Amino acid sequence: MLCTQNVPVSGQGVKCGMPTEIFDQDIEDYMRLPKALVGLNPEMMVPVSGDSMIDAGYEDGDLLLVRFGVPYRDLDDVLAMVDGLCTVKTLITDELGQKWLVPRNAKYRAIALSEDMEVKILGVVKGVQKQASRPSAREILQIIRRTKNELLAMRKLSDAEIDTCIATIGLEVKHARQWYAVQRTLVDCKQASEGDFSAFCERVARLLPHHDHLPVAKELSRMAVFSFAKPVALWDESNAPVAGKWFYDYKAIALRMESLLTNLKRQKTPTAM
């Protein structure tokens, strides 16, 4: 269906909990919906605040499509104004003729509507647009790291190929301790043993004997602390042995080394779908 009809979006959330104030003039935006979903009566998208209608499927942050000025009946979810305050509840009449506004969460009490209360049913809920969930950055980075490791593990690089990567990245190393970023990346990519700094330093010295900043095993071991003791994807400037520009220089070298290794592996590894 084509979205051709503008429906206003209220900037004021309506409580799915205790009633709250709402202002008709508080229009924050407009949302286009298919004409078939929009009736002749005025409609508005109203944000949900609270959890009293959780069992009806209305969660905090969702947008309710409320149609105003239409007939309502028992078991409709309605936007009601009670003594000047607004709330969304299920409307029902009991066996004695008493009208109630009922929450859909057992921890809240129903509201009995009496003659001394000022009550107005403003509209009926006709739909809900769910709020998209947001995962944590850590969760997503872990998935990415696992996927990268699985792809890289598909083909073990030869010593000669790794030597080529080390020689290439050596052009970007401007300080002896920055070789730690290279060694950590080799560990992440399953191309070196964690903590074996001596073997790595001997390898660099053999490949680049005239490099101005050759690594020293003892110095590299001092870098394996705090977040730097973890895979590169989890390095955190607030918990690293270096900060500011230094931190980003280390991170850039690590990412560049990873790119070199990955490109070599992709030359012979089928693309993952």
Share the mean pLDDT of the chain.
Answer: 83
The last residue of one of the domains, among 129, 156, 181, is 129
Of 145 and 102, which is predicted with more confidence? 102
Overall average pLDDT of the 112-139 stretch: 86
Query: Does residue 48 sit within a domain?
Result: yes
Q: Whole-model pTM?
A: 0.47
190 backbone φψ class: left, alpha, beta (φ>0; ψ -120 to 50): left
Query: Is the same domain home to 14 and 125?
Result: yes
CB proximity list for 19: less than 8 A, separation 6 or greater: 82, 83, 85, 86, 87
| pLDDT confidence of residue 174 | 96
pLDDT(149) > 90: no
Query: Is the same domain home to 105 and 172?
Result: no
> 102 near 166, Cβ under 8 Å?
no
Look up the domain containing 256 and give its range.
137-266
State the catalytic residues. Answer: 52, 89
| CATH number where 33 lies | 2.10.109.10
Query: Does residue 112 sit within a domain?
Result: yes
| pLDDT confidence of residue 22 | 45
Three-state SS at 22:
coil
- Cα–Cα distance for residue pair 92/62, rounded to 1 Å: 23
N residues, the chain: 273
Least confidently predicted of 145-149, 157-161, 174-178, 214-218 = 145-149
Query: Does residue 272 sit within a domain?
Result: no
Query: Is the same domain home to 32 and 52?
Result: yes
The last residue of one of the domains, among 82, 109, 129, is 129
Query: Is the same domain home to 72 and 186?
Result: no
Overall average pLDDT of the 48-63 stretch: 89
Q: CA of 124: how far to CAs of 80, 115, 128, 225, 241, in Å?
A: 9, 22, 12, 59, 58
- Cα–Cα distance for residue pair 78/74, rounded to 1 Å: 10
Query: Does residue 271 sit within a domain?
Result: no
The last residue of one of the domains, among 70, 96, 129, is 129
Domain count, the chain: 2
pLDDT(243) > 70: yes
